[in-house]
Amino acid sequence: MLQKAGRNRAITYVRIRYNNWVILGVKVKIKVLVLSVFLLGICMAEQGLIRENVQLEMGVSADKNENCMVFIVKNIGKDDILTSPIATNENRIVVVDESGKEFEIFTMKDMEPVIIKQKDEVLWKYKVGNIIDNAKISKTGKYYVYWNFHGVKTSKMLFLKQN
Amino acid sequence: MLILIISVCFAGGKQPNDSGLKLLNVRTELGVSLSEDPLTIVFIVENNSKNELKMSPLGTSDSRIVLIKPDGTEVELFAWAEVTKFIIVKPGESFTQKMPLERIFTSKALRLNGKEPFELNEKGKYNMYWKIGEVKSNQILILKE
């Protein structure tokens, strides 16, 4: 009886260990997949595949309850575009101060890619207050902001910091 | 002291198109304030000429805010006013005016083809620029949802 119970416990233990390895394996596979997609995105940018296939627009939101910038990308190419949200990885906001010094707002993140299908448009919003905080803007003066989307850049937009 | 009339001495910064006067040493620029909440638009004029610059306040007479609607039509924000106090910008100086974005969109001074007050209810992408006489500033995209 005791021997049987011990054997069952051993089988259960092996099963749990096996299941954990299976779950771990799936997790690793997903991470590898996400990373591959991310690297593919970088390769596309480096090869200039994205450059000819996107239309970028940067502006502000008219919503009175928001104090936000808007970033709109349209896929005008034939292939899907893989990217990540605004201010992550190769999708960056750049702040230029009066001396010409550039500060990039972004974090490198391993995440599920944003897929922009043909003719689709994706919109991101970013609070103006977050630009001030992240670029550590404290001095008064003129700042220019542009959007660097996988190496494709918008024109610069003026931001004025006063007392 | 020689004071030049705006329409003669202005030269735009980045022009939306090539029309209008192209005179040197004066630059107009549209941007966003980092010091105000809600979102506020700044209108900057830099006088790099040797003469003083005389202009009417923002939204009056020839100093107009122009909104290009999603369908491409242009709506101007201005009121005819007998200006008693002109803005004078000395050589080498700049002058900044501000207006909250919401006030621009809800203004009673918005006009289509220079006529009657006009309301902006249409959702979509607008482009805005500042026009002083024939001189135009850069444009800013505004998304109304």
Q: Express each pLDDT in B42-72 by its tens digit.
A: 999 998 888 898 889 998 888 899 999 999 9
pLDDT: which is higher, A137 or A32 = A137
| Domain residue spans of chain A | 1-163
Q: Is the dihedral of CA A34, A37, A43, A45 positive or negative?
A: negative
> Residue A131: pLDDT above 90?
yes
Instruction: Establish if A161 touches chain B: CB-CB under 8 angstroms.
Output: yes
Please tell me whether residue A101 adopts helix, strand or coil conformation: coil
Compute the distance between CA of residue A82 and CA of residue A45 in angstroms, rounded to an integer: 10
pLDDT digits 0-9 by tens, B82-109? 777 899 999 999 999 999 999 999 888 8
Compute the distance between CA of residue A137 and CA of residue A98 in angstroms, rounded to an integer: 12
Placement of tokens 């989307």 in the chain: A149
pLDDT digits 0-9 by tens, A53-107? 999 999 999 998 889 999 999 999 999 999 999 999 999 999 999 999 999 999 9
ipTM of the shown complex: 0.81
Spell out which residues of chain B touch residue A162, defining contact as CB-CB under 8 Å: 33-35, 96
Cα separation values, B102 from A8, A65, A108, B37, Å: 72, 10, 35, 11
CATH topology of domain B3-144: Immunoglobulin-like (2.60.40)
The alpha carbon of residue A157 is apart from the nearest alpha carbon of chain B, in Å, by 6
On average, the pLDDT of chain A sits at 84
- Top-tier CATH class for A1-163: mainly beta
| Mean pLDDT across A28-45 | 59
Spell out which residues of chain A touch residue B34, defining contact as CB-CB under 8 Å: 128, 131-132, 137, 143, 159-162
Given the DSSP bridges, would you call strands B52-55 and B3-5 parallel, antiparallel or unpaired? parallel
What pLDDT score does A114 carry?
Answer: 96
Report chain B residues touching chain A, CB-CB < 8 A.
29-35, 37-39, 42, 44, 96, 101-102, 105, 125-126, 138, 140-145
The alpha carbon of residue B102 is apart from the nearest alpha carbon of chain A, in Å, by 6
Supply the pTM of this predicted model. 0.77
DSSP assignment string, B119-138: -----EEEEEEEEETTEE--
What pLDDT score does A33 carry?
Answer: 59
A contact test, residue of B143, B144, B145 with most A CBs within 10 A = B143
What pLDDT score does B60 carry?
Answer: 87
Q: From A138, A125, A114, select the one nearest A50 (Cα to Cα).
A: A114
The alpha carbon of residue A109 is apart from the nearest alpha carbon of chain B, in Å, by 28
CB atoms within 10 A of CB B100: 16
| Domain residue spans of chain B | 3-144
